[in-house]
Structure 1
């Protein structure tokens, strides 16, 4: 069994080690690299409005780290934000927030839809001010949903997301290995990751169809289903509710008939 670990560097190691302990061949191929956007007048203006915000939605551990660094640069302190409700996309993001002494609400399913279902984002008064600490291109659906509900959204684009150059360089060797096998498994955690994967394989239907794609949440599942229908591909899709190592191992054991 070949499993392609697409998690960013720094977050992939625990899963790779756990899979290798189960005698699974692992290919580390990060599909996203996150890099901070430079401090700007636009960010300075957004941070100046932050004490008037009611909710801050934080979409990744990277958003926490960069967001907090820029909070200090803006000369604000966390005590200026004590009245604010924080929402984290998942446990890893919440864990990093806790390192700063911040409690956050966490959805059961680590997606935009999961966050929108939280009690803290239900029955909000029109005009409620919600800040998003996010990366370029991320959480468009969630922000638009809240805008449609009459909320005021403050868009903190804190970092850029791109396909790592190292993965582009490694792809020739990865392709050679995948050509030798009849199937492989990989996680797809975001639409950006999926688009980067399609770019790396250059829409090679033969290679694409060998994949078992484990996707995070309903919306991403639908994106892959739509692509499948439009391009007449035959890959397999499994929807996950989170990206925890325990869940990945459980799914593999179930697939191997060990559960």
Structure 2
């Protein structure tokens, strides 16, 4: 934590999965704040590895491979590339820029992804996934368990043959909320950053009545309108909607009118 800076004296909770929380935590610390790491989603391999192995065996049959998140890259790519290199004619696609970066770090270049909104709707708006481009083609979607079916359903409606491959599973935090409650009681928890509606639901379920009261009074920064809407449905209204990804969350944190 650096002295001074726009977030000096502020403790910000980072709730991304542990493997993805580092960059945002470092940015908060560089701005003078303190990052309290509290992942709301725990990520583990899929219980059944057979579908992923089957996708690896027929990787050359796909025209497009969509990776929903960096977690999908981390869990799928080692299996996909264990016995072969990335097919030249296979177009990689991602929902967010963090996933593009994760693919590039593992040698997969040329990934298409939205540049503004980071969701399935924005990905589907790209010309490479237009009906005329995907009709009759085979598309793989590497993802976690559960989640929205919009991407798969829409590609299927556009004439693609879609295989959804679950390569990791998500669960709520195994530890209790004692660390958060202690920080709230001591008056040293200023805000939370939340990048998952599912994670936010886990948090609300994890907290007791005292914790939920603290949560309602604490600023929550979210990078997508859908998360903000889900937060309101959970009776949380101290919500700041930011631009996407870590950069958007940081811009929102820095611009916030913090109380003296």
Aligned ranges 1:163-174 → 2 under 5 Å: 163-165=172-174, 168-169=175-176, 171-174=177-180
- Taking the aligned partners of 1:148 and 1:219, their CA distance within structure 2 comes to 23
SS of equivalent residue, structure 2 residue 20: coil
Following TM superposition, by how much is the alpha carbon of 1:155 offset from its aligned partner in structure 2, in angstroms? Answer: 0.9
Q: Does structure 2 retain, via aligned residues, the 8 Å contact 1:208–1:235?
A: no
Following TM superposition, by how much is the alpha carbon of 1:139 offset from its aligned partner in structure 2, in angstroms? Answer: 4.2
- Taking the aligned partners of 1:36 and 1:137, their CA distance within structure 2 comes to 14
> What residue in structure 2 maps to residue 4 of structure 1?
13
Q: Does structure 2 retain, via aligned residues, the 8 Å contact 1:184–1:210?
A: no
Count, aligned residues:
245
> What residue in structure 2 maps to residue 83 of structure 1?
89
Change in 2 beyond 3 A, CA 1:148/1:212: farther
CA deviation map 1:40-69 (0-9, x unaligned): 333333333332222111122232232221
1:208 pairs with 2:215 = yes
TM-score by length of 2: 0.81
Following TM superposition, by how much is the alpha carbon of 1:235 offset from its aligned partner in structure 2, in angstroms? Answer: 2.2
1:176 to 174, 182, 186: 182
Aligned ranges 1:1-259 → 2 under 5 Å: 1-37=10-46, 40-73=49-82, 75-78=83-86, 81-99=87-105, 100-108=107-115, 109-124=117-132, 125-165=134-174, 168-169=175-176, 171-181=177-187, 184-202=190-208, 205-225=212-232, 227-228=233-234, 233-244=235-246, 246-256=247-257
- Taking the aligned partners of 1:221 and 1:150, their CA distance within structure 2 comes to 33
- Taking the aligned partners of 1:173 and 1:242, their CA distance within structure 2 comes to 27
Q: Does structure 2 retain, via aligned residues, the 8 Å contact 1:3–1:27?
A: yes
TM-score by length of 1: 0.81
- Taking the aligned partners of 1:40 and 1:24, their CA distance within structure 2 comes to 41
Following TM superposition, by how much is the alpha carbon of 1:132 offset from its aligned partner in structure 2, in angstroms? Answer: 0.7
Change in 2 beyond 3 A, CA 1:66/1:50: same
> In terms of mean alpha carbon deviation, does 7-16 or 112-121 score higher?
7-16
Following TM superposition, by how much is the alpha carbon of 1:156 offset from its aligned partner in structure 2, in angstroms? Answer: 1.1
| Structure 1 stretches lacking a partner, 5+ long | none
Change in 2 beyond 3 A, CA 1:44/1:15: closer
| Structure 2 stretches lacking a partner, 5+ long | 1-9
Change in 2 beyond 3 A, CA 1:127/1:212: farther
